């Protein structure tokens, strides 16, 4: 199993990010939210992932950066759940949406639940 988060998996395309916000679907598991859409780029990686923490909830950049780091780490450790269930390329945006300062363990369990909810929602649509 490959537990990396290489540069080619990072969501950087402004066009794709705009598409996520305009046409993307969403799955939530408090306090996390996953916005996703099928990636139509020619050189599409199986997954493109971006993370975001609201400036509204965390005024200091140090705090936002800490939670972005935690989100990237939980994604890195649990991305095999997504990769094993996907049949086409997807772009994801991963949000932390609360003022609460949850521990790494709590965020990790919520991430797993969120990914499982996404998988259940997508396999249901394909049947």
Q: CA 24, 27, 33: angle at the middle one, nearest 5?
A: 95
- Please tell us whether the domain made up of 8-126 is placed in CATH 3.30.230.10: yes
Average pLDDT over residues 82-87: 89
pTM of the entire structure? 0.90
70 in Cβ contact with 111 (< 8 Å)? no
Task: Give yes or no for residue 19 having a pLDDT over 60.
Answer: yes
Domain parsing of the chain, residue ranges = 8-126
How far, in Å, CA of 65 to CA of 70, rounded? Answer: 9
CA pair distance 38, 25, nearest whole angstrom: 10
Q: What gap in Å lies between CA 40 and CA 71, rounded to an integer?
A: 25
**C-alpha to C-alpha distance for 90 and 48, rounded to whole angstroms:** 6
Q: How confident is the model at residue 11 (pLDDT cuts 50, 70, 90)?
A: very high
pLDDT band of residue 45 (cuts 50, 70, 90) is confident
CA dist., res. 10 & res. 6, Å (int) = 7
């Amino acid at each position: 199993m490959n537990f990396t988060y290489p540069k080619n998996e990072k969501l950087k395309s402004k066009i794709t990010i705009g598409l996520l916000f305009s046409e993307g679907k969403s799955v939530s598991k408090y306090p996390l939210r996953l916005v996703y859409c099928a990636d139509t780029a020619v050189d599409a990686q199986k997954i493109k992932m971006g993370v975001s923490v609201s400036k509204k909830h965390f005024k200091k950049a140090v705090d936002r950066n800490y939670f972005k780091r935690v989100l990237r780490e939980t994604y890195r450790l649990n991305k095999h759940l997504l990769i094993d269930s996907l049949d086409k390329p997807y772009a994801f945006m991963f949000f932390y949406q609360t003022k609460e300062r949850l521990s790494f363990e709590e965020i990790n369990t919520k991430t797993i639940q969120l990914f499982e909810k996404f998988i259940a929602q997508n396999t249901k649509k394909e049947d």
